[in-house]
Amino acid sequence: MGCTTGSAPGRLDLLGGVADYSGALVLQMPTRQSIEVVAEPDEALVVGPAVLSVAETARLAAVRDYGDVRRALEGLPRWTHYVLGVAVVLVRHGVITPPQARLRISSDLPESVGVASSAALEVATARALGAGVIDPLRLAALCQEAENYVVGAPCGVMDQVAVAVGSAGALLPILCRPASAWPAVTLPPDLEIVGWPTGAAHDVSGTPYGRARAAAFMGKRMVEESEGRTWTWVSELPPSEVARLPELVGGAEFVRRWGHTGDPVTTVRPEEVYPVRAAAAFGVEEHARSGEALAALRRGEPGRLGPLLHASQACYDAMGLGHPAATAAVEAALGTPGVYGARSSGGGCGGTVVVVCERGALDHVDAVIR
């Protein structure tokens, strides 16, 4: 059996960001940069310094609690958990048999800048291991499962869908309920969406992201308790009820009064203070903003995106996902001729600012992500 190869691009997050776990519409643009994984025949699964025998991979895939998988991988470099986690999940669901392959990874996609390098690595790995034949939305969901439960990062499904389904040069709308890809929108030739790295590293498993996600589900639980009914998604909550939520809620108070959030991948910590109103409102409002932006692009009116991106940026700051480096990059972008709008993207806290502009307007920026 010869070598097999899988690849996947990164993504630029025009609108949506951390609203994917709220069931919002998000607008994503695959990057030109990508990650490639080559699987060469071997006796075990070999990823850098990590080696899992066929028997060990099968054992990990069979355990009931993903926490046992995480503990088994402790001591290995964290980046290998994304790759090994995908392999374990694929075996667990019967998509592949325990791999016997040495994986070699190459990439021109920047890491830790908020352009979905982890999702690209996961999808490229899955494809190299033979899972590229399954439905791409299922593939994306399995890769998200690996990141949520093996890596322990509470991401939504936006990134995995964007890199598994998206095509170069076209904007991909994704309704994250739980995930359906709408027809892609080809941009006019005089318009481009680019990423401006802020210089501040981003990590979706970091405290601010997890706090914002937990806060959104806290708000949902509080509205449901107040209204005496339930909603499937945060983005479906009535805006008037979200506006009545308290701005901040302590974790201990929430647990005492409401008990739980219903979100399986985050935990309410008693010592934390959560931006409940801003986080819940973001899911509702970003869903609406993405719809407005999509309509404007289909009409060929990119100038209407500026206020929408500005409002999204303000909400990132309100949720604690802003960063001085991101603010500086947004201000620099908006001061550049030919720029329609800019905002923090992805999980925020630095990473990358996404910019909508006339083609070539940001060619002077070093390391711009196309």
Residue 334 vs residues 137, 196, 297: alpha-carbon distances, Å: 35, 12, 19
Give me the domain span that covers residue 150: 4-9+32-165
In a domain, 93, yes or no: yes
pLDDT at 246 over 90: yes
Q: Does pLDDT of 206 surpass 80? A: no
For residues 136-159, average pLDDT: 95
Domain contains 228:
no
Any domain includes 44: yes
Q: Could you please report the per-residue DSSP string of 55-66?
A: HHHHHHHH-S-H
CB contact at 8 A, 44 and 59: no
**What is the pLDDT at residue 221?**
97
338 pLDDT higher than 80: yes
Residue 202: per-residue pLDDT: 65
pLDDT computed for residue 168 by the predictor: 81
| pTM tops 0.85 | yes
Residue 153 lies in a domain: yes
pLDDT, residue 203, reads: 65
Q: Are strands 101-107 and 45-47 parallel, antiparallel or unpaired?
A: parallel
Predicted local confidence at residue 341, as pLDDT: 96
Of 39-48, 201-210, 234-243, 250-259, which gets the smallest average pLDDT?
201-210
Q: What distances in angstroms separate CA 235 from CA 89, 276, 282, 341, one per listed residue? A: 29, 14, 8, 24
Mean pLDDT (whole number) for 206-216 = 91
CA pair distance 34, 27, nearest whole angstrom: 19
pLDDT for 224 equals 97
Q: What is the pLDDT of residue 366?
A: 81
Residue 45 lies in a domain: yes
- How high is the pLDDT of residue 35? 97
The yes-or-no verdict on residue 98 having pLDDT over 80 is: yes
Residue 241, pLDDT score: 97
Mean pLDDT, range 117-137, rounded to an integer: 96
Helices 305-319, 324-334: axis angle to 10 degrees equals 170
Give the C-alpha separation, 193 to 189, whole Å: 11
| C-alpha span between 150 and 153 (Å, rounded) | 8
* Tens digits of residue pLDDT in 20-39: 999 999 999 999 999 999 99
Q: Per DSSP, what are the bridge partners of residue 15?
A: 27
Whether 77 has a pLDDT exceeding 80, the answer reads: yes
Say if residues 290 and 261 touch (Cβ distance below 8 Å): no
pLDDT grade for 337, boundaries at 50, 70 and 90: very high
- Give residue 204's pLDDT band: very low, low, confident or very high (50, 70, 90): low
Q: How confident is the model at residue 370 (pLDDT cuts 50, 70, 90)?
A: confident
Which residues neighbour 262 within 8 Å (Cβ) at sequence distance 6 or greater?
A: 217, 220, 221
What's the rounded Cα separation, in Å, for the pair 55 and 83? 17
* Mean per-residue pLDDT over the chain, rounded: 94
* CATH code for the domain of 118: 3.30.230.10
Q: Would you state the pLDDT for residue 213?
A: 95
Domains: count for the chain:
1
Q: Is residue 306 part of a domain?
A: no
Percent residues over pLDDT 90 in the chain? 88
> Is residue 105 included in any domain, yes or no?
yes
Mean pLDDT of 82-95: 98
Nearby residues of 257 by Cβ (< 8 Å), 6 or more positions away = none
Closest CA to 282 of 244, 319, 257, 253: 319
Q: Are 14 and 28 spatial neighbours (Cβ–Cβ below 8 Å)?
A: yes
pLDDT at 350: 84
**Residue 369 above 90 pLDDT?**
no
pLDDT at residue 161 is higher than 90:
yes
Residue 209 resides in a domain: no
Written as six digits, the tokens of 262 are: 């219903």
Per-residue pLDDT at 282? 97
290 vs 64: CA distance, rounded Å: 38
pLDDT band at 118; cut points 50, 70, 90: very high
pLDDT for 113: 85
The pLDDT > 70 percentage for the chain reads: 98
